[in-house]
């Protein structure tokens, strides 16, 4: 096939993302303990090479240098998260921290002055530990504390932020905390997870209502991790398995947060197995219906492939979504061997088409997509630059399908890569490097990777030859 220039719509958002807990470091502003710091204290061995979130990319001290790096790698937009624990250092509630306000205002000003639009996310897995002790997302009191935090952010930073997001991947903490043991407090209990999920959706709606009050020019939405679901075959049992997996992992947050309604089939299924949350009111449902996302961030890494369950489950064991399906690995597919994820670039097109066809073609962008690689120093040349042609290829392959989605009428406004500079990641710490810029953890030296240079050209040309 002959090569062609793929040009994106004017004003397309080129950028990347990270989050407070993964990049800032503790700093001296004062900050409440987060669930990650708490968990690390209790079980440091759960974290790769015993590295905690306190040892990070030290963005809090180096943000001016980092904003210059954003510029040098072609960013016209960037997603940060605002740390709830830093804003409210007294256990996530009480008096707001003037030093935290000063830090974020400085950072956002610096970004704006350098042509980098601020995409601010309010929650990226970093619950203040004291609020987790009060029940975390299972507690209405914590929902109120979150809404107060959100309201404070709109008031303090509303003039500097381009777009707001209530949550990053709300499904993650529910899966990790209540079903799969990768997030504090590591409970296995679906029904409690359903309650926490319900209150997360309610918190999203209440934050949107608070944002409306300020009549800011920004939009507010949510960032969801959505893997298009595919059955192993067209056999009805496999198709049914895929439908159920899709309800649990895709529609569970997408429907209530974007359409204002929980999927009926999921509600019926949970009722049948007595797994519906106990605490919900008509007023909650009305608030959820009234306050939906105005913009949608799509995190896309891999497809979900499933088949009908072949092995029996233990009906005495805890209720889990995988009672209804088994994951399926399609033979012969390209994999990200470090993460165990299938690389399926067409999935980005499928996902965008789903949003176009089933969610009113709401304004959306790719808010995460990227390639984690272990021991990336292997790919350094003699000048110390990581020569990551594999990442450039990965980005191009996905962007070609994103471009096609736009051609097919999807309302896609931008692409943000995960991540900007190599940063700390939940239990994987610094195992898998994702950045456009590499980090020497010992010296904090940052070096633009080959992909960072590519990204600058991509953004300057608003496209690339493919
Ligand atoms: C997403 C999260 C990010 C980031 C990324 C990579 O789910 O929103 O915070 O961590 O995944 O994941 P990992 O670093 O575990 O490979």
Q: Distance, CA 379 to ligand 1 centroid (Å)?
A: 22
Domain hosting residue 101, numbered range: 5-465
- Nearest ligand 1 atom, CA 431: 14
Sites in the chain below the pLDDT cut of 70: 1
Q: Which position among 24, 37, 138, 169 bears the catalytic label?
A: 169
Q: Distance, CA 264 to ligand 1 centroid (Å)?
A: 30
Concerning whether 368 is annotated as a catalytic residue, the answer is yes
Alpha-carbon distance of 84 to 87, in angstroms, equals 5
Q: What are the tokens at 466?
A: 């493919």
Instruction: State if pTM tops 0.90.
Output: yes
Residue 221 CA: distances (Å) to CA of 168, 261, 304: 10, 16, 24
Per-residue pLDDT, 314: 85
Concerning whether 169 is annotated as a catalytic residue, the answer is yes
- Pocket of ligand 1, beta carbon within 6 A: 19, 22, 168-169, 172, 225, 299, 339, 368, 372, 418, 425-426, 428, 432
Percent of the chain with pLDDT over 90: 96
What is the domain-level CATH number for residue 57?
3.20.20.80
8 A C-beta contact, residue 265 and residue 247: yes
Specify the number of domains making up the chain.
Answer: 1
Alpha-carbon distance of 195 to 138, in angstroms, equals 6
CA-closest residue to ligand 1 atom 2: 169
Per-residue pLDDT, 1: 60
Within 8 A by CB and 6+ apart from 366, the residues are 297, 298, 299, 300, 348, 398, 402, 412, 414, 415, 416
Per-residue pLDDT, 315: 81
* ipTM over the 0.85 cut-off: yes
Helix count (H) and strand count (E) of the chain? 16, 19
Per residue in 257-309, pLDDT (tens digit) is 999 999 999 999 999 999 999 999 999 999 999 999 999 999 999 999 999 99
Q: Is the dihedral of CA 393, 399, 403, 408 positive or negative?
A: positive
Q: Distance, CA 53 to ligand 1 centroid (Å)?
A: 14
Label residues 122-131 b or e (16+ Cβ within 10 Å = b). Answer: bbbbbbbbbb
CA-closest residue to ligand 1 atom 14: 425
| Number of neighbouring beta carbons within 10 Å of residue 154 | 21
Per-residue pLDDT, 89: 98
Q: Distance, CA 425 to ligand 1 centroid (Å)?
A: 6
């Amino acid at each position: 096939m002959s090569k062609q220039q793929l040009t994106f719509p004017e004003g397309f958002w080129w950028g990347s993302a990270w989050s407070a807990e993964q990049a800032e470091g503790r700093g001296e502003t004062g900050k409440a303990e987060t669930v990650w710091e708490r968990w690390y204290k209790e079980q440091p061995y759960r974290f790769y090479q015993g590295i905690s979130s306190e040892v990070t990319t030290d963005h809090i001290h180096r943000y001016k240098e980092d904003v210059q790096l954003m510029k040098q790698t072609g960013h016209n937009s960037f997603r940060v998260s605002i740390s709830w624990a830093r804003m409210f250092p007294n256990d996530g509630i009480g008096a707001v921290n003037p030093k935290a306000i000063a830090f974020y205002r400085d950072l956002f000003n610096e970004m704006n002055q350098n042509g980098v639009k601020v995409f601010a996310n309010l929650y990226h897995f970093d619950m203040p530990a004291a609020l987790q002790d009060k029940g975390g997302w299972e507690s209405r009191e914590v929902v109120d504390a979150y809404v107060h935090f959100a309201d404070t952010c709109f008031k303090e930073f509303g003039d500097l932020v381009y777009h707001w997001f209530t949550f990053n991947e709300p499904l993650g903490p529910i899966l990790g905390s209540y079903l799969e043991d990768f997030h504090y407090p590591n409970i296995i209990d679906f029904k409690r997870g359903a309650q926490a999920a319900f209150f997360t959706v309610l918190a999203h709606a209440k934050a949107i209502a608070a944002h409306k009050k300020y009549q800011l020019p920004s939009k507010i939405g949510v960032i969801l991790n959505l893997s298009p679901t595919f059955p192993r075959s067209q056999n009805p049992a496999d198709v049914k398995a895929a439908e159920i997996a899709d309800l649990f992992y895709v529609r569970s947050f997408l429907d209530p947060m974007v359409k204002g309604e929980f999927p009926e089939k999921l509600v019926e299924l949970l009722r049948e197995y007595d797994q519906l949350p106990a605490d919900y009111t008509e007023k909650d449902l009305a608030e959820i219906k009234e306050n939906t996302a105005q913009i949608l961030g799509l995190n896309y890494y891999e497809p979900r492939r499933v088949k009908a369950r072949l092995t029996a489950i233990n009906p005495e064991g805890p209720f889990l979504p995988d009672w209804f399906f088994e994951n399926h690995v399609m033979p012969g597919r390209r994999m990200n061997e470090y993460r165990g994820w299938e690389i399926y670039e067409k999935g980005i097109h499928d996902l965008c088409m789903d949003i176009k066809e089933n969610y009113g073609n709401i304004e959306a962008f790719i808010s995460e997509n990227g390639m984690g690689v272990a021991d990336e120093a292997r790919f350094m040349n003699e000048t110390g630059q990581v020569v990551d042609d594999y990442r450039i290829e990965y980005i191009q392959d996905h962007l070609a399908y994103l471009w096609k989605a736009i051609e097919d009428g999807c309302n896609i406004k931008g692409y943000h890569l995960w991540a900007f500079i190599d940063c700390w990641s939940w239990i994987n710490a610094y195992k898998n490097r994702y950045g456009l810029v590499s980090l020497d953890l010992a010296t904090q030296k940052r070096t633009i990777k080959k992909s960072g240079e590519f990204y600058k050209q991509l953004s300057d040309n608003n496209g690339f030859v493919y």
